[in-house]
Structure 1
Amino acid sequence: MSLLRVIARHASRPWTRAFASESSPSFPSATGVYQVFDRAAKRKQRDRAASRDAGVGSRTVDYVRDEVADRMMERLLDIKRKFDTIVDLGSGPGHFSKLLEPEKTRKVLMIDSSEAMLNRDSDEEFEVELERVHADEENLLDVLPRNSQEAIVSCLSLHWVNDLPGVLVQIKEALKPDGLFLGAMFGGDTLFELRTALQLAEGDREGGISPHISPMTDTKDISNLLSRAGFTLLTVDIDEVCVGYPSMWELLEDLRDMGESNAVVGRRHFLHRDTLAAASAIYKELHGNEDGSVPATFQIIYMIGWKPSPNQPKALEPGSAQTNLKDVL
C-alpha cells in the first residue's frame, strides 16, 4: 500500500536546506555507549519543527507518521485485550495516541524528549484520558518504575536512539509480566533513493562521501534484538510507505519540517549547492517517475513482543506431538 501525496502544495515553496545543523564531536556516554546521534541537536531540531509557523509547518508533514500510526493501530486492534494504561514512547504530538478509544484503554501516557513537539497539539481533544511527560526516551526507567505498565508503544522514534538494545531492555523491564510492546521504526532501506543520489554526487564533486542519512537498523536484526532484550511471542513484519515529491528539494524541506534532519555526530555543516544540484539530477535520472516526480521510500519495521509470564502459551517439548505429520499430508 502506498501513501498518496498531494504534490501541488510544493509548487511555489522555496528550497531550504534540510541537512544543515549544529555539529559536535563523537564521544562515549557515561555508560560507555557510543554516541551515533547527537540527541541534543535532535531535540533542538524537533523543537524548531514544532514551533515553526506556530506548528503549521510540522502539521503539514505529518503524513508519514499518521499513516504508520494507522497501520500500528490495526495491529493493536488485532490484540483482543483492553489495557488500563498505554505508554506512547517518543509520542511527538500524539500521532498514535489520537487514535486510541475507550474500548481499548482508559488512559495514555505520552513521553517525548522534545517538549515543544509533545505539546504542539495541546488544544486538541483525545478520546481517552491523557498525561504528557517530558523525558528522554533513552532513560525510560527514570520515569517508569519496573513492572508497572501493561503496554508500551513506540511510533517512529526508536531510530534516533543511540543504545537500541538498552532501550528495548528498559521497555521490557518497565512492563508487567505478559505486558505488550508494539513498535514501528524506520528500516535500513528508508530513503535509499536519497542516500544513493547524495553519495554519487558527493563522490563525483568532492572526491569522498560523508553521512547525510542516519544509519538505521537492518530488518533481520530486529528479532534478535527483541529476543536478547527478553521478549517472547515475537512478531516482526515489514511494510513500505512510498511518497511522491516534485523533486529532491521538496523532500529535503519536508524532512526538515518533520524534525528528521541529519543528527549524526560529526556530520558536516553543509553540502555545496552544486553537489546538491548534481544529487537532484541523479535522483531524478535513477529513480524518477514518468510524470516527472521522484519517489521517496520509507521502510517500516513493525514489531510486537511480550514480557514473559508463566501464563503465556509455550511451545511443546520436542517429540510430544500426538499426530503424525504423514497423516496430515
Structure 2
Amino acid sequence: MDPTPALFDPQALHQHRARVRGQDALFLHEFAAFEVSERLKDVNRTFTDPVFIGWQGDYWAQQTGVQARLIPDTDVLDLEPESCDLIVHCLSLHWASDPVGQLIQMRRALRPDGLMIAVMFAGETLNELRHALTKAESELRGGISPRVAPMAELRALGALLQRAGYGLPVADIEPLRVAYETPWHLMRELRAMGETNVMNAREKSLSRRDIFTRMAQIYAQDYQQDGRMMATFELAFLTGWSPSETQQKPLRPGSAQTRLADALGVTELPALPKKT
C-alpha cells in the first residue's frame, strides 16, 4: 500500500524561510513567545534541560530569556528519550505533515512530569484571505486550487494531545485581529514571515493576475474596517505533561463526597419523569 502523500513540501518551506531577512515581520512570534514566557512563570518551576524546536528558536530564546538547546522542526526530531524536562515547539507545528508524530516524539523525549508547550496557527487564521481567494478563483476559473493551508480546530487539537499520551492536556486559542493597508500588504508580510503556501497540491505555475486583482476587490468589500483590511490570526497553545505518578488524577465518576447543590447553596430539584 502506498503511504499517504505528505501535505506539505519541506523543500519549498525551507526555501521560503531562507528568503526571510531580518525580524521586522516576526511580531506574531514575539506575541507567542511572550505568552509562553508568561505561562512558564505560572508553572513556578526551574527547568534544567529545555529544548526549543523551530526555525526561529533562537529568537524565542531571546524573547523568553530561556537558555535552551535549539533544534529544527524536521520530521524526525533530534531528541533522545527522557533527555529534557521542557520542550517548546515554536510556532511551526502547523507545517508538520504528521503533527501527532511530532507530539509523540516530544512526549517520549520528556522525563516524567516534563512539560511540553506547542504553538501553532489554527482555527480561523487567514479566513478572510481564504474566502476572498476562493471566491475570486471560482468566479474567474470555475474551480479552485489550495492556496491557504488548512487549519485545525481547537477540539481536534485537544484530541491530538490525548492521542499522543500527554497528562493534563490543555488546548486554548489566542485570537488576534491585524489591520493592513491592502491585501497586498498582508501577503507581503506573510512572505516576510516565511508563512506562504507550501502545500504539495498547490499550483506550481504563475497565478493569473486577474485572480489576485479580483481577490483584492472582494477582500475590500467584505473585510474592510475604517479603511483598513482586517486579517485574523488564531494562535493555538497546546500544553501537556509527560505522565508521572506524582501528577493529579481526575476522580472516578460517583466518588464525590459532597453534593453539588450543597456546595452552591441551592435546592436540588427532583428529576423530571422520562417521556414514554
For the criterion TM > 0.5, the same-fold answer is yes
Flag structure 2 segments of 5+ consecutive residues without an equivalent: 265-276
Task: Name the residue aligned to 2:273.
Answer: none
Contact residue 49 and residue 83 of structure 2 kept, 8 A: no
For 1:75 and 1:246, how far apart are their aligned partners in 2?
Answer: 33
For 2:4 and 2:176, how far apart are their aligned partners in 1?
Answer: 31
Residue 86 (str. 1) matches residue 50 (str. 2): yes
Q: 2:18 aligns with which of 47, 58, 62?
A: 47
Contact residue 57 and residue 71 of structure 2 kept, 8 A: no
Could you tell me the TM-score, scaled by structure 1's length? Answer: 0.76
For 2:193 and 2:158, how far apart are their aligned partners in 1?
Answer: 28
Task: Name the residue aligned to 1:77.
Answer: 41
Task: Name the residue aligned to 2:111.
Answer: 176
Task: Name the residue aligned to 2:63.
Answer: 99
RMSD over aligned CA atoms reads 1.5
**Residue-pair matches, total:** 262
Deviation track 1:85-114 (CA, whole Å, cap 9, x = no partner) reads 21111141533211334xxx5x3011125x
Contact residue 243 and residue 296 of structure 1 kept, 8 A: yes
Residue 288 (str. 1) matches residue 224 (str. 2): yes
Query: SS of 1:295's equivalent?
Result: strand
Flag structure 1 segments of 5+ consecutive residues without an equivalent: 1-27, 50-54, 114-135
Task: Name the residue aligned to 1:15.
Answer: none
Q: Which runs of 4+ in 1 moved over 4 A?
A: none
Task: Name the residue aligned to 2:186.
Answer: 251
Query: SS of 1:167's equivalent?
Result: helix
Letter matched to residue 161 of structure 2: L
Residues 1:327 and 1:33: Cα distance change in structure 2 (over 3 Å): same
- Give the deviation of 1:33 after TM superposition: 4.6
Query: SS of 1:95's equivalent?
Result: helix
Residues 1:231 and 1:196: Cα distance change in structure 2 (over 3 Å): same
Task: Name the residue aligned to 2:68.
Answer: 108
- Give the deviation of 1:183 after TM superposition: 1.5
Residue 327 (str. 1) matches residue 256 (str. 2): no
Letter matched to residue 77 of structure 1: K
Q: State the structure with more CA Rg.
A: 2
For 1:319 and 1:275, how far apart are their aligned partners in 2?
Answer: 60
For 1:93 and 1:169, how far apart are their aligned partners in 2?
Answer: 20
Contact residue 91 and residue 154 of structure 1 kept, 8 A: no
For 1:88 and 1:303, how far apart are their aligned partners in 2?
Answer: 14
Identity %: 37
1:151-300, aligned counterparts within 5 Å? Answer: 151-268=86-203, 269-290=205-226, 292-300=227-235
Task: Name the residue aligned to 2:7.
Answer: 36
Deviation track 1:164-197 (CA, whole Å, cap 9, x = no partner) reads 1111111111111111001211113100000000
Letter matched to residue 76 of structure 2: N
Deviation track 1:139-173 (CA, whole Å, cap 9, x = no partner) reads 01xx2111111010112100100001111111111
Contact residue 54 and residue 71 of structure 2 kept, 8 A: yes
Letter matched to residue 284 of structure 1: A
Query: SS of 1:254's equivalent?
Result: helix
Letter matched to residue 139 of structure 1: V
For 1:100 and 1:279, how far apart are their aligned partners in 2?
Answer: 38
Q: 2:243 aligns with which of 305, 308, 320?
A: 308
Task: Name the residue aligned to 2:30.
Answer: 66
Deviation track 1:62-98 (CA, whole Å, cap 9, x = no partner) reads 1111112112211111111010021111141533211
Residues 1:93 and 1:173: Cα distance change in structure 2 (over 3 Å): closer
